[in-house]
Amino acid sequence: MEPTLPDPNMFAALAVAVLFGIVVWDAFWLTRQRLDVPNLGELSNGGFAWESEGAQELIRQWGNLGSMAAMMVLPWGLVGVSNTNPAYAIAWDVCLTLHLVSLLIPKRYAVTRTHAFADGQRYDWQRLRLAGRQPARRIMLLRKGWGIFGPLPLGGAQHDLSTARERISLALGDSSQWPSTSTPKEEE
């Protein structure tokens, strides 16, 4: 008796549902960035907040954009072979397109004495370190314990990145120069 394969449409629906959940989750965090970093420029606690532009996010996300393009093409090769309804491949591509657009939306970043704010999330400096080799047009932080899966690139204009690098060095080195532990939101 030969085993029967599960319905490919069921797996396709599950894959699209998981991808849709990821897109919604990322959209939620993107909306939080303006709440967490409402003010730009010098912060009263010695921190610094800045906003990137779409072109800078393109530089920041180039690797992810290439992966997304490959992920959009791959299902089409399997649709005919697996007898999967093409509507699932279309839904997959729509979700990935939405995610691609969200990657290119300008982001807000901030560095304070105790935290880095990026992509709508707050990262304690104890969980981060600067990458040994820094790219020219972004700052590369690494999440400790994540290995190759932990890069946290920060985008922005060169003058903003220069100021941010100085503050990051203070935060990772001698953060006692910052008198306050307030967050960018508390600056209002």
Over residues 62-71, the pLDDT tens digits come to 888 888 888 8
More confident residue, 116 or 5: 116
| 129, 130, 131, 136: CA torsion to nearest 10 | 160
Mean pLDDT of 130-157: 86
Contacts of 69 (CB under 8 A, 6+ apart): none
Domain residue ranges in the chain:
7-36+53-106, 39-52+107-188
Contacts of 163 (CB under 8 A, 6+ apart): 48, 50
Tell me what pLDDT residue 7 has.
Answer: 87
Mean pLDDT of 103-109: 88
Domain 39-52+107-188 has CATH 2.50.20: no
Q: Is the pLDDT of residue 86 over 70?
A: yes
